[in-house]
Amino acid sequence: MRIATITNWAYGVTVCLTLASGVVMLLASNADNAERQAVEQRQIFDQLTEEVETDAWALSDLARLYVINKDPDALKDYQQKDQSRKPIEHRLSRLKDNGATGEELALLHEGLQVVDELQDEQQAALASMARGDERQAVILLYSKPYEQELERVQNQIDQFRLMLDRRAHNAVEEATKKSRILRTLSEVMVGLTALLFLFVMGFILKRRVLRPVVRLSDVVHRLASQDYAVETPNFSQIDEIGDMAQAIRIFRENGLVRQQLEKERDADWAIRELLARMTQRLQGCENFTDVINVAQLFAPNIAPGISGQLYILDRDPWQMRCVAQWLTPEEKHPPFHPDDCWAVRRGQSHPPVNGEPDIACYHLPESAADRSLCVPLIAQGEAIGLLSFQNITPETTPSRAYLELMAEALGLALANQRLRDALLEKALYDPLTGLRNRHHLEDKMQTLMSQAMRNNEPLSCLMIDIDHFKSINDRFGHEAGDQVIKSVAAIVQRAVHDNGIAFRYGGEEFLALLTDTGEEGAHACATEIYEGVRALALRYGLAEIGPVDVSIGIASYPQHAQSDNLLRAADVALYRAKELGRSRIVSFGMLEAG
């Protein structure tokens, strides 16, 4: 049974007991009234019987006084008294009207009849006095029968009074007893009402006020400490407690929403910090491998639970090649044509809206097509790569903007690496021959020399010069000269690429560093280059350029020079070859022997 129903029943019983107590109090008051009425009736009856008694004795006394004294005043008083005396019927009607019972009226009626008989004897005595028969009058009024009749009247009146006293006493006792019982009952009802009221008040205070307030206080305390996981009590009653519970429930719901917003804000800040840190790391990357490592490290944390791949656009062949993957099974992701991806085609992330029907990218497996997102890596208006995400759901994916920011940062880093590689290639490699240029020579020379000294290995240097190159330019032009330089560079590169590095040292000069190679090995390599150049058959247009020769100087460490003068020794050997008429190989060791 609901508390409200119990309370309503208790209130109803309390009201009923209160009304019943009021009714009993009214009945007790009526009993007191009956007691007062019995006393008042006794007084009225005493007054009426006293009038009868007084009238009977007064008339008798006046008649006797007149008979003895013959006093005319006594006769006059008697006559007046007799005239004023009320008849029996009038006296009885007054008694009857005041509640006299039939038995009491019969007893009094008998006494009143005796009084009338005495009055008749008194009238007879007065008549005898009027005739002068005084003796007869005295006999009538002082005879024994007359006295007996007076005593009889007195007895009747006394019995009537005794009966009245007994009835009045019984009425008073009954009224008193009834009043006491009713008052006791009323007091019991008032006590029960008070107890029930106290019980109801205690019940309400404990169950409807104290207990809810204690529970609400605990909830408020926990909400104050931002413990929004607490369950608020469901007090649906329409009162102050219900209003408080509703207000606390609304406060908790607002707190949960605020807490969720704070979590989302903190998550956004965390993602922003990761993006900022990733951008900083990308700025410090020196090659494509560094960029790929940064992507593999930060992508799973920026988009937790979302698998993905990083593709780079290769130009030869024209394809998207997977270079990194995370949170996916270790499997091969084959290259695909850029047109197979709608994001690359459109230059925007695809599909535009998650969950909406749209055409899927052709490179995606069918099982992941409806839960994927492709974000192109754009640099200078061109796609240079692709980020492909799978397992995209509204619950697990961060804001699309963060994924696009990550793609933008990666695209910029890859573009910077491409630009850096291009600039490095221009700075370190000769654009005509593809050989390293002179700017790269000093660093490479120090590295190889340190390695040779550390490992106690020989290191040789070849200095190569095309003979009579100026005359070729003069006769055939610079384009023909460039063709000759490219052809000779190809022969030098082919001869030294297995165990050395070739450089374009000047306009028509080349240099080769041969690791772990002594004078004998260096001479063999120089011979290969020399014979290869002599075997060239070059034409420019319709004209034949003719034979091309080279002069080569050789120096080896540690046979001919130390670490700081190996190049100089090779240059000296080349200079000696030119002095000897060009088109020959001269070793620095030959100069020492000569």
| Tokens linked to 300 | 């799973």
By DSSP bridging, strand 459-466 and strand 318-326 are: unpaired
- The contacts of residue 287 (CB under 8 Å, 6+ apart) are 417, 421
Mark whether 117 is an active-site residue.
Answer: no
By DSSP bridging, strand 459-466 and strand 373-379 are: unpaired
DSSP class of 206: I
Q: How many CA atoms lie within 13 A of 272 on its CB side?
A: 6
Rounded CA-CA distance 77/83 in Å is 10
Rounded CA-CA distance 164/170 in Å is 10
- The contacts of residue 276 (CB under 8 Å, 6+ apart) are none
* 234 Ramachandran zone, left/alpha/beta (phi>0; psi -120 to 50): beta
- The contacts of residue 149 (CB under 8 Å, 6+ apart) are 114, 117, 118, 121
Rounded CA-CA distance 224/269 in Å is 25
Look at the alpha carbons of 8, 10, 16, 22 in this order and tell me if their dihedral is positive or negative: negative
Look at the alpha carbons of 40, 42, 46, 48 in this order and tell me if their dihedral is positive or negative: positive
Query: Do 417 and 312 meet the contact criterion of CB atoms below 8 Å apart?
Result: no
- Find the catalytic residue in 508, 509, 519, 528: 508
Which residues are known to be catalytic?
A: 508
